[in-house]
Amino acid sequence: MTPALKIDGLRKSFGGLPATNNVSLEVMPGERRLIIGPNGAGKTTLFNLITGDLPADDGSIRVFGEEVRGMLPSQRAHRGLARTYQIITLFPKDTLEHNIALSLLGLSKTRWNAFSPLARYGHLYEEARRVLALVGLDALANRPVSEVSYGDRRRLEIAMALAQKPRLLLLDEPLAGLSREERASVKQLVSKIPRETTVVMIEHDMDTALDLAETITVLHYGSVIVEGTRADVVADPRTREVYLGH
């Protein structure tokens, strides 16, 4: 079976400092993979390399067998790759509905239409409302993002990614900064993502994240040091060394 994501010998340095150091990993379709590691381990850099936000120095990134290194981030999105950001990146002045509409437009040829009014594309907003309903935000559809809670913004970020029906979804700390209740709500949302979507997630909240993931990759100083099932990783002395220092 072709892996959903196959990375070989990926490298990225900032000046002389290697942020991603010969990383190789494989994620199979439908898998839930957790990427963990201490601060500065290169987790977000790895995501940025996969999505094309940062250009890689060397190595290969294959999404469902297709080499995407060298492609623009937008081209990668059209290959079924979607992501969320560690720091919420939305359109705060626009309504929740419009944020989802922008997401839907991203994969639609309609986005090049420079003549017909956007309001004419009613189906776009109908679909946006359907997606918002899936994440429980339909009641806030017409509110500007700046007026909704942090937890709702996190859910909106995930909804924007899910609206594109991605084949591979990268979630960068989806639970960061949330209250216990909000965390439970987002966790439930992530657990409901259909198996057609492969999920790779960075998360610091280990208890919650370990419930969601089947396999775990531990990064340290830009390199993969441990990989395996939850039991394998927890039992590995290198994981304890990285996290506890002994």
Partner 1 sequence: MKALGWIALAALAAGLPLYAGEFYVNLTSQILIAAIFAAGLNLLVGYGGLSSLGHASYLGVAAYSSAWLSLNLAMPHWASAPIALAFTTLMACLFGVIALRATGLGFLMITLALSQVLWGLGYRWVSVTNGDNGLSGLTRPAPFGINLDGATPFYYFCLVVTVFALWMIARLVHSPFGAGLRGTRDQARRMAALGHNVGLVRWLTFVYAGFWGAVAGLLYVYYHKYIHPTALSLTSSAEGLLAVIAGGSGTLAGPVIGAAIVVLLKNYVSAFVERWNFLLGLVFVLIVIFMPDGLVPGMKRLWLRWRGERR
**Footprint on this chain of partner 1 (rule: CB under 8 A):** 51-53, 72-75, 77-78, 82-83, 85, 89-91, 93, 98, 101-103, 105-108, 110-119, 121, 160, 164
Q: In angstroms, rounded to a whole number, what is the distance separating the alpha carbons of residues 86 and 157?
A: 10
Residue closer to partner 1 by CB (options 167, 230) is: 167
Q: Least distance to partner 1 from the beta carbon of 239, Å?
A: 31
113 vs 229, beta carbon nearer partner 1 = 113
Nearer to partner 1, 77 or 216 (CB): 77
Phi, psi torsion values for 45, nearest 5 degrees: -60, -40
- The minimum distance between CB 136 and partner 1, in angstroms, equals 22
Distance of alpha carbon 241 from alpha carbon 246, whole angstroms: 5
The SS3 of residue 166 is coil
The distance of closest approach from Cβ of residue 210 to partner 1 in the complex, given in angstroms and rounded to an integer, is: 27
Q: What Cα–Cα distance (Å) separates residue 203 from each residue in 116, 176, 182?
A: 42, 8, 15
Which CA distances in Å does 134 have to 44, 131, 220? 27, 5, 36
Greatest Cα-to-Cα distance within the chain, rounded to the nearest angstrom: 64
CA atoms within 13 A on the CB side of 39: 0
Question: 106 or 228: whose CB is closer to partner 1?
Answer: 106
DSSP state of 88: -
Shortest spacing between CB 2 and partner 1, in angstroms: 22
Least Cα distance to 76 among 182, 169, 187 occurs for: 169
Q: Provide, rounded to whole angstroms, the least separation between the CB of residue 126 and partner 1.
A: 15
What strands lie across the sheet with 32-36, from one edge to the other? 81-83, 168-172, 198-202, 32-36, 215-220, 223-229
Residue number, 202 or 216, with CB nearest to partner 1 = 202
Q: Measured from the CB of residue 160, what is the shortest distance to partner 1 in angstroms?
A: 7
Residue number with CB closer to partner 1 (52 or 174): 52
8 Å CB contact between 100 and 91: no
